[in-house]
Every structure is written in C-alpha cells, then in structure tokens.
Structure 1
Amino acid sequence: MSSVAVAAYVYTHETMLSSIPVVTIYVAVALWAAVSALDHVLSSQALTLLFADVKYVSGGTVVLGLFFFVAEYTDDRRWLRPRRVVGVMLPFLILLGFVFADETFGTTLLRQHVVATPSGPFDTSVRSSGVVFLLFTMYAYVLIGTAGYKLFSEYRRLKVDTLREQIRAILVATVVPAVLNMAFNLRLVTVDLTPIGFFVTTLMAVAVIFRYRITDIVPIARRTAIDSVDVGMLVVDSEGTIIDANEAASAHLDVPAGDLTGRGVVDLFSGNPDVVRVLENGDERRTRTDYVVDGEERYFDVDVSTIENGNGDLIGRVVLLSDVTDQVSWERALRERTTELERQNDRLEEFAGIVSHDLRNPLNVASMRLELEADNLDEENYAKIASSLDRMEGIVDDTLELARQGQRVTERDDVSLRAVAEAAWANVATETGSLTVASDRVLSANEPRLQRVFENLFRNAVEHGSTSPDSQARQDAVEHGAAAAGTGDPSVTVTVGATDDGWYVEDDGPGIPEEERSDVLQQGYSTNDEGTGFGLAIVNASVEAHGWDLSITESRDGGARFEVTVPTDSPAMATEVE
C-alpha cells in the first residue's frame, strides 16, 4: 500500500522531473509485494506459476523504471533517445515472450521447475531456473549497476549537501533490494527477502520526496548549466526556501553553499529592499543591488524567474546573480570622464572666446592704424608690419581651430573613407597634385572634423611636395601655415587607403626627416619663420579627439606617410571595402 501511495503522490504532483519512471517503479513494486504476500497465503502450484510470471514482469519493470529515472535525474540524455530506449527495453520484451512460451507451450527456457511449499514465510516457491532467466537476471544487474555508478559519480562530483543527501537516499533505495535479490538468486539465503528491500525503497522515496524535496525541483537535471557558468544561481521552492545554490552564488555572496541551502531567500537579501520587493511580489524581472563581500562593496544584477510544473502551478523560482561590479565601475568612470570632458570642452570654448575677442580686436585695431599710417611709412617697413599682422591673424585662426579640434568627439556617424577624402580634396585640390583612393572602409567618426583632418593633410602634401632644393622642401613639409599654394610639384600624388587597423594618407613628395617626426605634431613647431606651427598639431588633436593614434613614417616613394590607428577599444570600425 505504501508503494501505491508513493506512486499516486508522484503522479498527482507532476513536476519538472517526469513522473513516468517513478510511478512505473512503485506500481511494479506494489505488484511484486502483493503477489509475494498472496504466494505465502495461497499455496498452490498453479498460483505459484502465475505469481512467478508476475514477478518476472514486475521485476523487469522495476529495473527499467530505475534505469530511466537515473538517466533523467542525472541528465544523461543519451539514454533517453528513442532508439536507445527501445534498445534497453528489448531484452525485457524478449523476456515477456518467454513467459508466454512457458505458459503456452510448456517450454523450460525461463524456468525448469516450480513447486509450492510451506518452507518459508516470505516465499513459498522452490524453482530451478532456465538459461533465459539467468541471462535476463545478469542483464538486470548490469542495468542496476550502471544506474548505481551514475548516482555515485554524481555524489562525488556535487558539493551541495541537499543534493548529496538526495543521492544517498536513492542509492540506498537501489542497492538494498538488489543485494537481497542477488543473495536469493545465488542461494545464499533460502527465502526471497526482496520485498523487504522494496519496503526500504519505499521509505527512501518518502524521504527524498518530503525531506529532500526531489519532486519540487530537480537541480541535477540542470547541472551542466549550473556548474559551467559564472552566474550565481539560487533555486528557491514555493515557500521561499533556498534548496540549491551553485558555487558561483556562494562566492558572490561570501556564504558557504551549505549555509545557503535551507535559508529563506528573503532573509538573505533583507538589507536590499528592491530585491526583497521583487521576491515578495513574485515578479519576473531584473533589479540591481549592492552587496558587501570581504569588506568590498560589489554590485549584482538579480534576475528572478518562476518555475511551474506541467499543470501551470508555481513550484519555485530561480534567482540569478550576475556580478556587474566591473561594469558599474566602468559606467561610473565613464560618467566621470564624460563630465570631465564636458568641463574641458567648456574651458576650450572659453579659451576660444578669449582668443577670438581679446586678441582679434587689438589685431583689427592695429591693422586699421597701419592703413591710416600707410602714407607715412616706407614700403619696406609697411610690408614687414603687414606681414607680422597677417601672421598673428593666422596664429589666432589656427589657435581657434586647434581648440575646436581638440574637443573630444561625442557624436559619430558611419563615414566612408573614400567619400570624406574626396570631399576634402575638392576643397583643397589645385593643379599641383592628384588624389588616389586605393581602398575604402567605413569609419565611426565625426564627418566634418574628419574632413578637416584630410584637408590639412592634403594641404601639407600639396603645398610642400615642391621641386625646391631638397633641404628646403623637407623643412617646408613639416608645416603648411605660411606656404603659398601653387608652389608645389604638379606631379605630386596623394594616396589614401585602409589598413588592417585604420587608414593612411601618403604622398610622393620629399617626406619628413626621421629625426623631426616626433616634433612636427607639436603645436608651434615650425622650420619656417613665417609659419604658425599649428597645421599638423591640429591634425593630431582631431585624431586624438576621436580616440585614435597618429604616427608618421616614410611612404613607398620616399614621401610622408601619416598612419592613423584605431585602438581595439575604440568605437567599432567596419571591415575594408574594396
């Protein structure tokens, strides 16, 4: 009766663990126990033969049910595939055929001789087994041994006390009846004590159902996911008690896994009102909370999901803990960096305003005074003063440009390298050069500012790729501010292309001496007395404002090559477009 009660309870409380193997086991156990009792009470050879056949069938059913239960419990899906299920069941189906043959045709392959005797209180039959019975018995013991090995392997692997206690109970329920049955078949005892073993099995079933809550949730069936992820996982029953916790949860919360199980999940997060609210309301949602681990404040995203059985009834919840401390720190640093950049941009705007107002106004006054005194000055002095004022005007313009280009880029779009280069060339191109775009790619950039970078680089190449003596050309090549357009070599070619990690601009002019390459990007550096020294500094400022790196090398034709590298942590850059 107890076996029937267990089967009925499991069947009516179907959960994530399939009830079919468990119900099958305990119905077969109940049938075995019933015929064993009747065999003791009703002593006749005909009934003994019938009861023996029932025991063959019920015994095989118990073994099959046990094997498939363990396969599901340990999540060994290989043995739950249809072909393998049929393969495992095939010997049992053959056994049924021999039971029918013995009954119908009087064969003796399964049993050779069965008589009823009053010799024992538990089994009143004496039998001589046939070869088929011996082979099937060996097969049954192989299945039982395989199931026991799977359970023992799980026991050694798992660290959670609740699960280990479950497995211990299941092992006892498996081993005790198997050992007693083996002792009887080996003639070590004169009576079949298997029914007593099944009684122990029933007691263990009651323990794992009501004490270890195996029918509520089956964590082992999810072991691969639980053990392989860094996300903390708490499995909570319908009453809010933690019944399982993986090692990641234990590490995240700085609580031993054994101390987590059996604890109320609301109590665990009692200091975090947002999490408690989600748990108490039964919501499926995410919230963020902080938790002190080893004296350090850490942050977690807490995801709560409900678990329902086949009837749609709530049987528990899964609480996932994702450590987002690094992400929170990064977001905080990003906010601080953004705030600092905004302050820097404000200061640069203020500086630009000062330059524009406080410097340009006196320059305008000086220019006006110069025009008024033009008749009183000789031509040479007038030209020198005018040239100096023009140079100061250029410095003011370049300083304003440097301030604007140095502001961190915050707005980006997908920009075609070819398109922006050709647009820049249209603003610079003269008869002194030609543009070649060797390859294209899509950049994440601020298009107007990127176009200004190309314009400055193109001017530098076109205006200083001259046919003047080599030493003078090299000096001019480091700065474009004072050069006059149209003095360059009509044959100078500027090439733009993509690299594996960025892009480049190169020319076939005289190039920049290696010893000067580290200096030419600095503001104010010029080898020309009339230059401002801001041209390439503006380029470098804009490149750095995008989060990129600029370097200068020599082109294949001996000219200057400017390479821009996009770091791996910079905004995404699309692949090269041929």
Structure 2
Amino acid sequence: MIDVSLTAPLAALAATVAAGATAAAFEYRDEPGGLAAAAFMGAIFWWSAGLFGEAVAATEAGKVFWLNVQYPATAVVPVAAVAFVASYLGYDAWISRRRLLVLAAPLAALTLLSWTNDYHGLVRAGTDVVAFGSGTVLVRELGPAWWAGWLYSQLLLVATFATLAYGVYDSAPAFRTSAGLLLVGAGAPWAAQFVVLGGGPAFRPELLFVLTGVAFTAALRRGPTLGVTPVARQVTLKAIPDPIVVVDRSGRIADTNPAARAWLGDDVAVGATVADALSSAPEVRAAYRRGEAPDEPLRVEVDGETRFVSLSAVPLPTLGSRSQGTVLLLRDVTDSERNRRDLEVANDRLQTLTHALAHDIKNPLAVADGFTDLATGGDEAAIERVEGAHDRIFEIVDETLAAVDHPDPDTDAESFRFATLAEDAWRTAETAAATLTVAGDESYVADRAAVRSVLENLFRNAAVHAGPDPAVTAVALDGGFAVVDDGPGIPPAERDRAFDRGYTTADDGTGIGLASVATLAASHGWTVAAGRGRGETDAVPDAGAMAVGDGAAFVVGFGDRPVAEVAAPIVADPDALATPSEPLATEK
C-alpha cells in the first residue's frame, strides 16, 4: 500500500508530467489525432490536479469538493481516448463531433449527478474521512449511478485499448515501440483499478497517471508518433505499385511493401542487411552505398524482364544528431525510359535519314548539272542523262517517304537482276571520270530501291576516294555483292572507322555516304563490311579468273551466311574485314 503522505507529491508529479505531455501533443495538433491527444493528456492533468487537491484537503467537505473537480476529467478521458485512437489508426470518418457528444453524454450526466449528489445520493451513498498513516483519506460508499458510469467507461476504454493493441501489432516495426509506449502508459492506471477492486493494495490508481505522461512524452520524443497511422500505412503501402524499402540506422531492412518483395524477391525481408536484400539489384545497391540519387534510371531484373527505376533516398528524422535510417523509394519508370530510348533512336534515325536523303540526291543532281550544257546544245544522250537524273531524284524522294511510312523492309522485297540494277545506279551516281565493270548477273530477292541506293553511295565513294580515273568493279557474289576499286584502299588502322558518321579522308567529303550504307543495310538485316580487294576473282561462273581492283572493297551480304564467306572470292583477307561498330538500326 502507498503511504497516504505520498499521494499528494505523486499526484503533483503526475499533473506536472501531464502538463508537459499536453504541450508536446498540442504541437502536433494538425496531425491525425493531435487535438484528441492534447485533450486526453489535458484531462489527465486536470484529473491529477484534482487528486492533489483531494489529497491535501483536511476536511470531508474539502475532499468532496476536489473529488467533484475531478469528474469532468473522468468524462473527457474515455471519449478523448476513443477519438485519439480512431484518428491514430485512420478511422477519422467514424468519429464526428456529434458522435463524440453522444459518447460523452452519459459521463457528462454522471458529472452533474456527482455535483448534485447531496440531493439524491445516486453517485455516493455516503462519505467519511478516516485517518490512514500520517494523513487522511476520503472513504466512499458508491451508489448505482457511479457503477453505471464506471461500467460505461470501461466499455469505451476496453474497446479503445483493444483497437490500439491491434494497431501496435499491425504497425511497422519502426513505429511499434512508440505505439506500444502509448498503450502501456494509458493502460496502466486502467488495469490498476482492477487490482484495487479485487482486494489488492489500497491506493489510488490515478497515481499511475505519472506513468501515462512519461510514456506519452517518450513516444512523442521518439518521432512524429501522431503522424503515423498504422491502418493507413498498411493500406497505402499495399496500394502503391512502386517498391518502398525502409532501412534502419544499422543498415538493416525495417519495413517493405508488397511491391518491393515482388520486384526484389524474398531477400528483402525485415531484419536482412541491405547488401543481402538488394543482391538481385546490384545497380540499386551500388547507388545506395554511394549515398546519392543517380541521374539515370537503374536496371532491375524482375521475373526475367529488365525494368527501369528511379531511386530516391529519403532520410528519416534524426534523434538528436543520429540518423534513424533511410526510406528507399524505387519509382517504376520503365515505360518512360523505353519511350525515351525509342525517341532517341527515332531522332537519330531521322537525322541519318535527312543526311542520307541530302547525300543521295546530290548524286543525280551532280549528273544533271554535269550534262545540262550538253543537253541545251541538243545532245540527245545528254538529254537522256539529265532526264534520268531528274527521274532518280523523284524516285529517291518516293523511296524515302516509303521508308518512313512503311518501315518494314520485307514488304518491299522483289526479284531483280544485279547487272541491270548496277548499271542503273551508275548512271545516276556522281562518278566523274571513273569507269564501271559489272561482273556476274545474279538474281536476288531484296528491297531493290535500297540496293540501288547502296550501290550509288559505294560508286560515288569510289569515284571520290580512289584517285583520278578509277576503275570500279561491281561483283555479284553468292549471297551478296561487292564494289571494288583500284585506288589506294583504306588504311588498315582506320578501316574500323570507315562506316562512322562524319569519317572521311577527302577534303570535300561529307562522311555521310558509308554511314548511310551501314544504316540502310542494318535496317534491312544485311551485313556490310570493308576490306581490301584481292586483284582478281573467280566468283563469276564460266568466266575464269577476272581482274578486279586491289583497293577498297565493300561487301554486302543478304542472308545469314557470314559476310567473310560471302567476301572470300573478292577480298585479300576475309578475316580482316571491318564491320560497322554501332549501326543505327540495331540500337535499343
């Protein structure tokens, strides 16, 4: 049993601590449950102050007066507890002002009955002051109204504490301690009354309000307890489709949502280290260790599919100068990243297409310009060359539009004879004083317009780079074709750069022709390679060994056959062929 002389100082301590907790709760008045928490602790302060007055009063009338002072607080505490827990757990919609008034009405009536007890005796059938130790206590004979009010309060409190206990169980581990402090602190005085009523030590259970105030203050100092709603947390985290991982200050997983477990696997378990939990996402783990948000999306393998995420690391509030941990937010940006990459490819393709169009049109324009003077003088052959060049310009425009409107190259495949197409391409290419020999007359099924464009670019490349009056040979091969000149060829050290956009060895070169060849070939699934001619070839049936140039040799393969095998009859060293390093059409 607590000495009566200790009741007053303990009640004063409880009131002081409750006053501090009330002020602390009021700072969070705009958070869910903030006002209810302030009202709850304010009522405990009032109750404790009234208990202090009762303890120090010497007369029966004085003790009854301070007992009546406590009754408004006894009406507020259960209702405020209901309102706080409802808001704390996210059930604000259940609690309206009218419902709170209805809940408080029976206890308000009990307060009025206590204040008017002298007229009816329904709350206290009798009172007496008796000596107890070094002081006196008020002994009450409780009436039926008191028991009815007590039973009603217990129903409210039992429901409240049971709901709060569920919230403690259901809340995230990082917030479970704070919620548990609230449960223990608020429940201690309530549980103690049953000990007294059951015949245990005779003391006032309200003295344990000091524990309520301490627990409440400690919970608030641990973090924004009133801003945490366990039910809302559960619903929100489950509904968010993006992974969320909470890492405590020791580098272990404190909480995750279902999306995190679905994306990162079962290793993302509470208590696991970050190194183990993010083992399936090495880029995310590396970014977390660096302690900075990456500028580019990170790759994550999810069920065998590559996904992209943006990573944000949000630090949790510090306790003193010590961090409490970090929240990792992984936002799924797969669709936007793929769209961005597709857009980059489309922009690059459009740029290449624009350059290629300008470059390809220069061939027939140069032919038309070169024969214009002769045509105006009546030269019929010159007129035909000019007309053919103009027709070719229109064809190039139509082919470009078709490539944009119908990007599937297989739809444009048709049968054609190589010799005829090579001669047509030569007539509309800017070849100056160069001469052409066509070796072989194979028939192919492919995009005829694309093959012609490739030939025109290769012919013009030979005319520009193979020296004065070069001899150019177009050779039909098994599975493809080649264009060989008798110039100095491409230096082996620079051969790998031959198809790079902007690369040229001529003073007036654009560096577009071979890049256009590589892009066009890749977009049709063909293979293009550069090497050195072997000087002769036996690739043409029934023609024996034919002389070809030993300068630059460009080979185009149509099918799945390795380009080195296709080029073997025409190049000096098939194993030394150079192919485009990054053809545009294959970028993703």
TM-score by length of 2: 0.49
Pick from 290, 297, 300 the counterpart of residue 310 of structure 2.
300
Q: Give yes or no for the alignment of 1:54 onto 2:54.
A: no
Code of the aligned partner of 1:60: A
In structure 2, the residue matched to 1:22 is 37
Change (3 A) 1:225 1:402: same
Pick from 143, 148, 157 the counterpart of residue 144 of structure 1.
157
Counterpart contact for 2:244–2:330, Cα < 8 Å? yes
Structure 2 counterpart SS, 1:340: helix
How far 1:305 moved relative to its partner? 11
1:260 and 1:179 map into 2 onto residues whose CA distance is 40
In structure 1, the residue matched to 2:189 is 177
Structure 2 counterpart SS, 1:169: helix
List gaps (5 residues or longer) in structure 1: 262-266, 276-286, 308-314, 374-385, 410-521, 525-578
**Count of matched residue positions in the alignment of Structure 1 and Structure 2:** 370
1:270 and 1:305 map into 2 onto residues whose CA distance is 12
In structure 2, the residue matched to 1:63 is 78
Equivalent residues in 2 for 1:476-495, closer than 5 Å:
none
How far 1:208 moved relative to its partner? 1.3
In structure 2, the residue matched to 1:337 is 346
Structure 1 counterpart SS, 2:116: helix
In structure 1, the residue matched to 2:175 is 163
Pick from 112, 119, 122 the counterpart of residue 109 of structure 1.
122
Q: Give yes or no for the alignment of 1:95 onto 2:91.
A: no
2:253 and 2:14 map into 1 onto residues whose CA distance is 26
Structure 2 counterpart SS, 1:58: helix
Which is worse superposed, 91-100 or 317-326?
A: 317-326
Equivalent residues in 2 for 1:361-372, closer than 5 Å:
none
In structure 2, the residue matched to 1:495 is none
2:135 and 2:286 map into 1 onto residues whose CA distance is 53
Pick from 339, 349, 354 the counterpart of residue 363 of structure 2.
354
How far 1:67 moved relative to its partner? 1.9
Pick from 85, 88, 98 the counterpart of residue 73 of structure 1.
88
Counterpart contact for 2:36–2:84, Cα < 8 Å? yes
In structure 2, the residue matched to 1:247 is 257
Code of the aligned partner of 1:207: A
How far 1:294 moved relative to its partner? 7.6
1:31 and 1:406 map into 2 onto residues whose CA distance is 86
In structure 1, the residue matched to 2:396 is 400
2:135 and 2:189 map into 1 onto residues whose CA distance is 14
1:125 and 1:3 map into 2 onto residues whose CA distance is 20
How far 1:22 moved relative to its partner? 3.1
Change (3 A) 1:34 1:396: closer
Counterpart contact for 1:184–1:191, Cα < 8 Å? yes
2:49 and 2:393 map into 1 onto residues whose CA distance is 104
Structure 2 counterpart SS, 1:213: coil
Counterpart contact for 1:28–1:61, Cα < 8 Å? yes
Code of the aligned partner of 2:397: E
Equivalent residues in 2 for 1:181-192, closer than 5 Å:
181-184=193-196, 187-189=198-200, 191-192=202-203
Code of the aligned partner of 2:77: V
In structure 1, the residue matched to 2:216 is 205
Q: Give yes or no for the alignment of 1:194 onto 2:209.
A: no
How far 1:272 moved relative to its partner? 4.7
How far 1:364 moved relative to its partner? 11
Structure 1 counterpart SS, 2:104: helix
Counterpart contact for 1:10–1:19, Cα < 8 Å? no
In structure 2, the residue matched to 1:472 is none
Change (3 A) 1:325 1:120: farther
Code of the aligned partner of 2:88: Y
Change (3 A) 1:248 1:353: farther
In structure 2, the residue matched to 1:505 is none
Change (3 A) 1:30 1:400: closer
In structure 2, the residue matched to 1:327 is 336
Code of the aligned partner of 1:205: F
Structure 2 counterpart SS, 1:116: strand
Give RMSD over aligned pairs.
Answer: 5.1
How far 1:336 moved relative to its partner? 2.8
